Amino acid sequence: MIASTLILLVVVGATPFAIARPAALEDGRALEIKNMFEDWAAKHGKSYSSDWEKARRLMIFSDTLAYIEKHNAQPNTTFTLGLNKFSDLTNAEFRAMHVGKFKRPRYQDRLPAEDEDVDVSSLPTSLDWRQKGAVTPIKDQGDCGSCWAFSAIASIESAHFLATKELVSLSEQQLMDCDTVDAGCDGGLMETAFKFVVKNGGVTTEAAYPYTGSVGSCNANKAKNKVAEITGFKVVTEDSADALMKAVSKTPVTVSICGSDENFQNYKSGILSGKCDDSLDHGVLLIGYGTEGGMPYWIIKNSWGTSWGEDGFMKIERKDGDGMCGMNGDSSYPTTS
């Protein structure tokens, strides 16, 4: 029998701690939510070290579900939130594990952008580099702040395809182990990753140097076969949607964004819009743009697996200035000639 109010008493050593269940577990939905949690945990291969930890994760899951349902019940929202593999994490835990642990201050330490004529009138009204075969499948950075490596490698994969017509999955782990300027799971910058690849004379394949989700010693034997080379990179003019649109019309572009926003964390489908922090703490790949229901949007490729978003991808509102979630504030792309 489930009581109307449940209190869990947990003993750590000899000290009891009372943990009150959230409101969602105090009503008739308690059993339904518990069953949802069990199904969700099985789907995502979740296991917990103790009954106490499992109960704590159930409470967080319940709070996440309430947040999702409240948003999805709003009229005229342009996007839907949903459960994913992060649904048993608080936003603070999520920030600590899945975005970069150090951030570039906006408008500081930026290389100058090349002056370009930014006339987008001749560009197509929509673009999706996936349709042109230039984007590798979604990858998963795991519990590691290595988004910088995934964003940089994804852009090099696309640049290599455009130069050779061969789409090859390249090695994030080589950057993790061998790029000593960036900080592995503690974060990094796509531009310094590009500098490493240029200096190194290229990067090897994911098959030759597979991802482990942690930093190891640089393995020269695994890294010796340099499959993809770049000659440098270009920086996109900041806070200009037109400049970013022109850049992505040529090649997929690395973008810094606020990935720690709670709506970003729980995004499922549609066009992310509305309020969002512009703290740049996550790296993604911009792969296209379009318009839906009168709202212009960008298409981004993430590195959180396929259970997040639209099978790992996202549509996010396209607007000028610093952009949605700081989208227009820090972007660059590799060059091959």
Residues involved in catalysis: 147, 282, 302
CA torsion 81-86-87-91 (nearest 10°) is -90
Q: Rounded CA gap, 67 and 219, in Å? A: 44
3-state secondary structure of 177: helix
Q: What are the C-alpha distances in Å from 94 to residues 88, 143, 159, 264, 310?
A: 9, 9, 31, 11, 19
- Scanning the structure block, which residue is given the tokens 């990067």? 203
DSSP state of 290: E
Q: In this structure, are residues 200 and 178 in contact, taking their beta carbons and an 8 Å threshold?
A: yes
Bridge partners of 17?
A: 10
* Per-residue buried b or exposed e for 149-171, using 16+ beta carbons within 10 Å of the residue's own CB: bbbbbbbbbbbbbbeeeeebbbb
Residue 81 pairs in a beta bridge with: 267
**Cβ 191 vs Cβ 332: under 8 Å:** yes
Write down the residue that tokens 């593999």 correspond to. 85
Contacts of 328 (CB under 8 A, 6+ apart): 238, 239, 240, 241, 243, 244, 320, 321, 322
For residue 336, give the nearest of 134, 128, 150 by alpha carbon: 134
